[in-house]
Amino acid sequence: MESTAKKNYTLPIIMMVALFFMISFVTGLQNPFGIIVKNQFAASNFMSQLGNAANFIAYAFMGIPAGMLLQKIGYKKTALLAIIVGFCGVGISYLSGVAGSYAVYLTGAFVSGFSMCMLNTVVNPMLNTLGGGGNKGNQLIQVAGSVNSIGATIVPVVVGDAAKAQISDANPALFLAMGIFAIVFIVLFCMQIPEPHMVKENEAKTPDKHSALSFRHFILGAIAIFLYVGVEVGIPNFMNLFATSSEIGIDPTVAGSIVGTYWFLMMIGRLFGASFGAKISRKSMWSSAATVGRSF
C-alpha cells in the first residue's frame, strides 16, 4: 500500500481547508445574528446569545457520536454526512428568516452546531494525515487555521449592518454557505482519500484496556480547549453586542469592522505559527504561546 506522502492529495487538502473556512464562517454567523435577533425580536442580551450557545451546546451531544462515526465509517463518509447536516442547518436558518421565527432560528443554530462538531472531528486529523503527520501535518493545520480566521473575518462584511437588518437580509451569507457546502460535497464524493484510522471488518480487534479519560493529557487538553473556545468566541460576540448597545453607541458598521479585525489578527498569528510549524515541535509552540499570552 502506498504511503500518504507518495500520493498527490492536493485536491483533498483544498477541500479540507475549505471545510476549515466553513467551520469558522457558519459559527461566526451567530455573531451578527445575535445583533439581528436582538432587534428583530426585541430579545434580551441573554436571548440574543442563545443562538451562539446552541451552536456550541450541540458539541456536547455530538462529540462522542462523531468520533464513533469517524472510526466506523471513516473520514470521507463522516465529512459527507457532516456537510449534509451543515447544509440543512444553514437551510433552517434561511427558513427562520422566511417565517420570521426566533424558535426556528435557534433550531438552525443547533443543527449547524452538530455539523461543526462533526467537521472539527474530521478536518484536523485528516489534514494531519494528508500532510504526512508530525510537524509537517501540524504546519498544514496552522495554514488551514489561518483560512479559518478569514471565514470569521468576512462574516460581518457579508452580513452587513446587523443592527438594521433582519434574518432575511443575511440571505447572501446563508446562500454562500450552502453553495460552498454543495461544492465541497460533490468534490469529496468523487475523490478517494486515505482512511488510516478506519476499523476494517477483517482485522482482529484487540480490546482496549484504557478509556480516553485514563490519560491525564486528554483531560487537561479537554479543559484547555473548553477555556480556549470560550475566550476565542466570547470576546468577539460580546464585543459586538455591547459596542452596539445604547450605552456605548458605536456604529454597527464600525463595531463589525472591529470584530473582523480581531479575527484578522488571529489569522496573522496562525500564519506566524504555520511558518514555524514544520521546524518546531507542537509542545514548544504551545509552551511559547502560553508564556507570551500570560505575559500580556
Q: Are 257 and 156 in contact (CB under 8 A)?
A: yes
Report residue 290 as a C-alpha cell.
502560553
Q: Are 17 and 147 in contact (CB under 8 A)?
A: yes
Element (H, E) at 255: helix 252-276
Residue with more model confidence, 77 or 204: 77
Q: What is the DSSP string of 201-252?
A: TTSPPPPPS--GGG-HHHHHHHHHHHHHHHHHHHHHHHHHHHHTSTTT---H
Whether the model pTM is above 0.95: no
Q: Are 189 and 11 in contact (CB under 8 A)?
A: no
95 vs 27: CA distance, rounded Å: 18
Residue with more model confidence, 127 or 232: 127
273 vs 11: CA distance, rounded Å: 23
Q: Tell me the residue type at 44.
A: S
125 vs 75: CA distance, rounded Å: 9
Of the candidates 70, 243, 69, the one whose C-alpha atom is nearest the C-alpha of residue 156 is: 243
| Strand, helix or coil for residue 165 | coil
Tally of residues, the chain: 296
Question: Does residue 167 have a pLDDT over 50?
Answer: yes
Question: Does residue 6 have a pLDDT over 60?
Answer: no
- The pLDDT tens digits for 236-284 are 777 777 777 767 777 777 777 787 788 788 778 777 777 776 677 777 7
- The pLDDT tens digits for 173-212 are 899 999 999 999 998 898 887 776 664 544 555 666 777 7
65 vs 50: CA distance, rounded Å: 23
Of the candidates 201, 185, 205, the one whose C-alpha atom is nearest the C-alpha of residue 84 is: 185
| Strand, helix or coil for residue 41 | coil
Element (H, E) at 163: none
Question: Does residue 114 have a pLDDT over 70?
Answer: yes
**In percent, how much of the chain has pLDDT > 70?**
88
